[in-house]
Chain A
């Protein structure tokens, strides 16, 4: 076991982890931030996307110790300071961009990274960017619409 320290959602945190502990497991089990979801074991589904150093990362693809010293943002860190839904989150609610909600945290985190890179994406650009996030409920139609609305907001 070794100790890992990082900043998560603006707070300094540390915990004891095994070498094989994934960042996704550290966030869920050590920090009890259960908004980050595990939908697969082959890094295909994107339910576990978080931001590490401002970049979207599937948190099942890196070990917790690799994030030592990093600044990590999870879905729990996406709300406005007053606790209300942030712009992208609000756009998802306004446009019915989620149903069961399980893929949603990863979708919101990916959408935020996309809009950071490209504030006015076309529908095709949105669809291509989301290639690493699987949703089984929405058929993506309203996710795309939500991201377009967030870009326009």
Chain B
């Protein structure tokens, strides 16, 4: 292992400010003269607004302005960034998504009005004095009955079905035929539970307006400030880019929930323009629960056809995917292109058909949450494989091994449109068996039995697709954005470097890991490189950070820009040493003429570029700054194998995670310490989904688990320490770093491992239970045990 550059566990430079209380999060920003906004939100799931009386509120102390839907009637709605085409060639249904409710509310939390006042307390007090004449309507909650008819979430659509998507439609008949004629078909109906992402920093937006220059600034908790500037500027408020700056400073976690363009961002930006004062909004946690996009919420039936030897013949899945009340920014892509394309998993299943019905309900919009579609695909596939193994009396590891795509079969084209470039699923499974000490399981199970507990082992594999690209392909699939990334590498006159990236770090450690790459390429120390991100005014247009794309796409852009820098620097060095550029070699921060003892240092070349006295001005521009936009040729395909051991108390149904082991193939790894941390966090979120977390709505559309008192976040004493390994590395073949991305793997791979482990424990304990829906709370497990 290297002690610097690529492969080193360099300590994080951003930690110093975070640990000393000097982080600069959006809520830490206060703009001189700012006022505070409080949103009056719907407390009913579905209702018609017959009138809003703001008279009394408007006269209350400190109130600077009150806004309702009428003030936003001329403003564009929040756009959806991905248009899905259904099985019949029709475009998805795309209802308006207003900034403030236009005559109707469609979920608890839907903003009806906004009060801007001198203090937050005054804004809250005045909001309480607004009188809304609301006619409550029946709430549309259950997806299957919503599709069957009845009350409409959006009257103008005449249906609650957003789209009925089939993939690959041409395979449908062959898949049906294979399942009809199969030796054995395992069927599983399951729910992928609705989750609330719950980044620890609630969302914040501050709108500021400089009337003298007609310039707007939005400070916001975003994973992708350029995307927000484009969506809000072009589609909602019609502010051109050069008059709109979006700043996402330190951001306290995202997990997908801070990708999307939210109503509060547009509101604060426009209110600041109308009132000519800065307007600040800080979400409370309770508000976050009913206004941040939720995740998952799929109801699925999956069928797996197998032959007599246990070889997979076909997979067919039917999923109802909850969109919530409106289409959030990337909501429509999650159950389709981020889910259906993953249904081959790590296996050579020849025939696959995926049907997804996306449904409007009177709930908070649902969008990408860590993994986004891929956890849903992995969960159903790995659960049905486990169930099939049990039905056929096969070992769950062996059935997987015999169906693996083999190392020599890459690149491998799946029947669901992906081409995996590299992988070695046998190696990751071998490594898992070693690090999880699977041979010792029986002895540990025996100890558990002596305590009256049931021990179970859950195994599963996963594949994911990261760094979604290329742009021309995703455009054909319906994306309304490109999915490249950018970097400007600015070499300063004395040789230090500032990199401006379109990626955004909100926990991913870019400020530390990106310099490791450049330090390696040039041979200078990491502390000579600074990473600038999060401000549209000083970074090139980029698509931001999500989908485990930063190093694979943004890192690649930075490499390309640095290659341009090195090529130019070699020409300068060649001039200084009176040699040909082709003969110049860069090593350890020094340029030398191959085969001679002539050399010139990195710093001298940089200074020459900026003080070009002895310089080929007739052939070369002064300065040393380059920009690259990188658009990948393909996704990357991290993969791995996970093992979870649990103890179940049959008296109470309580599940304890005894151990969790993960082997991941992320290709090349820049900073092993950071990668370990990403996997740990992902596993914790996956274990949370499997055992604890659930966004529960009642039939009236009230979010029952709407605070940390009711929504059970995993805490330190709910989890063990993890055993993780990423030594099995099959580098990506189509990006310059050979990297695959590691941010989501843990959250994708862990839920089936936990559930498989609990079912293994129950079945080995003599309880014939084939499935329990997540979260596997004590009451659910106890109920399953007790029939």
Contact B19 A39 (CB under 8 A): no
Beyond the given A41-B707, A98-B15, could you list 11 further A-B residue pairs with CB under 8 A, ordered by the A residue number?
A35-B20, A99-B507, A99-B677, A102-B252, A131-B716, A134-B708, A135-B200, A138-B677, A139-B722, A141-B719, A144-B716
A30 at the interface (CB under 8 A from B): no
How far, in angstroms, from A134 to B676 measured CA to CA in the complex? 19
Cross-interface CB contact of B18 among A33, A44, A98, A130, cutoff 8 Å: A98
How far, in angstroms, from A18 to B124 measured CA to CA in the complex? 15
Closest beta carbon of chain B to A65's beta carbon, Å: 16
Given A35-B23, A98-B19, A137-B681, verify A42-B709 contact (CB < 8 Å).
yes
Q: Which residues of B contact A144 (CB under 8 A)?
A: 716, 721
Q: Can you list 20 contacts pairing A with B, beta carbon distance less than 8 Å?
A: A37-B201, A39-B285, A40-B708, A41-B286, A42-B709, A44-B709, A45-B200, A85-B20, A98-B15, A101-B18, A101-B19, A102-B23, A104-B18, A126-B716, A133-B715, A133-B716, A134-B708, A139-B680, A139-B722, A141-B722
Closest beta carbon of chain A to B224's beta carbon, Å: 16
Kindly report which residue of chain A lies nearest to residue B29, judged by CB atoms: A34
- A74-107 contacts to B, CB under 8 A, are 74-76, 78-79, 85, 89, 92-94, 96, 98-105
A66 at the interface (CB under 8 A from B): no
Interface residues, chain A, with chain B CB atoms under 8 Å away: 18, 20, 33-42, 44-45, 47, 74-76, 78-79, 85, 89, 92-94, 96, 98-105, 108, 123-124, 126-128, 130-131, 133-145
Cross-interface CB contact of B200 among A85, A92, A103, cutoff 8 Å: A103
Contact A45 B721 (CB under 8 A): no
How far, in angstroms, from A141 to B677 measured CA to CA in the complex? 8
Q: Shortest 7 CB-CB distances between A and B: which pairs?
A: A35-B21, A102-B252, A101-B18, A139-B684, A100-B507, A44-B708, A99-B507
B705 at the interface (CB under 8 A from A): no
Contact B708 A101 (CB under 8 A): no
Cross-interface CB contact of A74 among B21, B28, B715, cutoff 8 Å: B21
Q: Which residues of A contact B28 (CB under 8 A)?
A: 34
How far, in angstroms, from A138 to B21 measured CA to CA in the complex? 18
How far, in angstroms, from A14 to B102 measured CA to CA in the complex? 46
Contact B673 A96 (CB under 8 A): yes
Given A39-B285, A142-B677, verify A136-B717 contact (CB < 8 Å).
no
How far, in angstroms, from A36 to B27 measured CA to CA in the complex? 11
How far, in angstroms, from A20 to B119 measured CA to CA in the complex? 13
Interface residues, chain B, with chain A CB atoms under 8 Å away: 11-12, 14-25, 27-28, 121, 198-202, 250-253, 255, 282, 284-286, 506-509, 673-674, 676-677, 680-685, 707-709, 713-717, 719, 721-722, 746
Closest beta carbon of chain B to A40's beta carbon, Å: 4
Closest beta carbon of chain A to B197's beta carbon, Å: 8
Cross-interface CB contact of A102 among B253, B683, B714, B716, cutoff 8 Å: B253
Cross-interface CB contact of B716 among A38, A42, A136, A140, cutoff 8 Å: A140
Contact B716 A101 (CB under 8 A): no
Closest beta carbon of chain A to B243's beta carbon, Å: 29
Contact A39 B201 (CB under 8 A): yes
Q: Which residues of B contact A39 (CB under 8 A)?
A: 200-202, 252, 285
Given A76-B20, A139-B719, A139-B722, verify A37-B286 contact (CB < 8 Å).
no
Q: Which residues of B contact A18 (CB under 8 A)?
A: 121
Q: Which residues of B contact A140 (CB under 8 A)?
A: 680, 684, 715-716, 719
Closest beta carbon of chain A to B505's beta carbon, Å: 9
Given A101-B250, A102-B25, A130-B716, verify A89-B19 contact (CB < 8 Å).
yes
Kindly report which residue of chain A lies nearest to residue B512, judged by CB atoms: A96
Contact B715 A101 (CB under 8 A): no
How far, in angstroms, from A103 to B252 measured CA to CA in the complex? 8
Given A45-B285, A96-B673, A142-B680, verify A75-B717 contact (CB < 8 Å).
no
How far, in angstroms, from A140 to B28 measured CA to CA in the complex? 25
Cross-interface CB contact of A136 among B19, B198, B674, cutoff 8 Å: B198
Closest beta carbon of chain A to B289's beta carbon, Å: 10
Closest beta carbon of chain A to B647's beta carbon, Å: 15
Kindly report which residue of chain B lies nearest to residue A34, judged by CB atoms: B28
Contact B200 A47 (CB under 8 A): yes
How far, in angstroms, from A124 to B18 measured CA to CA in the complex? 26
Kindly report which residue of chain B lies nearest to residue A126, judged by CB atoms: B716
Q: Which residues of A contact B22 (CB under 8 A)?
A: 35, 76
Closest beta carbon of chain B to A82's beta carbon, Å: 13
Contact A75 B21 (CB under 8 A): yes
How far, in angstroms, from A123 to B721 measured CA to CA in the complex? 9
Given A35-B22, A139-B684, verify A100-B199 contact (CB < 8 Å).
yes
Given A45-B200, A127-B716, A141-B680, verify A92-B19 contact (CB < 8 Å).
yes
Q: Which residues of B contact A38 (CB under 8 A)?
A: 27, 202, 282
How far, in angstroms, from A102 to B24 measured CA to CA in the complex? 10
Contact A136 B18 (CB under 8 A): no
Closest beta carbon of chain A to B26's beta carbon, Å: 11
Given A41-B284, A75-B20, A136-B681, verify A100-B719 contact (CB < 8 Å).
no
Contact A93 B15 (CB under 8 A): yes
Contact A96 B676 (CB under 8 A): yes
Closest beta carbon of chain A to B526's beta carbon, Å: 15
Closest beta carbon of chain B to A89's beta carbon, Å: 4
How far, in angstroms, from A76 to B674 measured CA to CA in the complex? 25
Cross-interface CB contact of A42 among B15, B16, B674, B708, cutoff 8 Å: B708
How far, in angstroms, from A5 to B121 measured CA to CA in the complex? 23
Given A93-B16, A93-B19, A104-B18, verify A137-B285 contact (CB < 8 Å).
no
How far, in angstroms, from A11 to B267 measured CA to CA in the complex? 40
Q: Which residues of B contact A20 (CB under 8 A)?
A: 121
Closest beta carbon of chain A to B691's beta carbon, Å: 14
Contact A134 B20 (CB under 8 A): no
Contact A37 B25 (CB under 8 A): yes
Q: Which residues of B contact A41 (CB under 8 A)?
A: 284-286, 707
Closest beta carbon of chain B to A142's beta carbon, Å: 6
Closest beta carbon of chain A to B373's beta carbon, Å: 20
Closest beta carbon of chain B to A108's beta carbon, Å: 7
How far, in angstroms, from A39 to B285 measured CA to CA in the complex? 7
Q: Which residues of B contact A143 (CB under 8 A)?
A: 716
Closest beta carbon of chain B to A102's beta carbon, Å: 3
Kindly report which residue of chain B lies nearest to residue A33, judged by CB atoms: B21
Closest beta carbon of chain A to B672's beta carbon, Å: 10
How far, in angstroms, from A42 to B709 measured CA to CA in the complex? 7
Kindly report which residue of chain B lies nearest to residue A35, judged by CB atoms: B21
Q: Which residues of B contact A137 (CB under 8 A)?
A: 200, 253, 507, 677, 681
How far, in angstroms, from A79 to B714 measured CA to CA in the complex? 30
Cross-interface CB contact of A79 among B20, B201, B685, cutoff 8 Å: B20
Given A79-B20, A98-B15, A139-B683, verify A131-B677 contact (CB < 8 Å).
no
Contact B715 A130 (CB under 8 A): yes
Contact B717 A131 (CB under 8 A): yes
Closest beta carbon of chain A to B491's beta carbon, Å: 28
Which residue among A42, A102, A128, A135 has the maximum number of chain B CB atoms within 10 Å of its CB? A102
Contact B681 A138 (CB under 8 A): yes
How far, in angstroms, from A110 to B484 measured CA to CA in the complex? 42
Given A99-B507, A102-B25, verify A136-B199 contact (CB < 8 Å).
yes
Q: Which residues of B contact A108 (CB under 8 A)?
A: 19
Cross-interface CB contact of A44 among B16, B508, B677, B707, cutoff 8 Å: B707
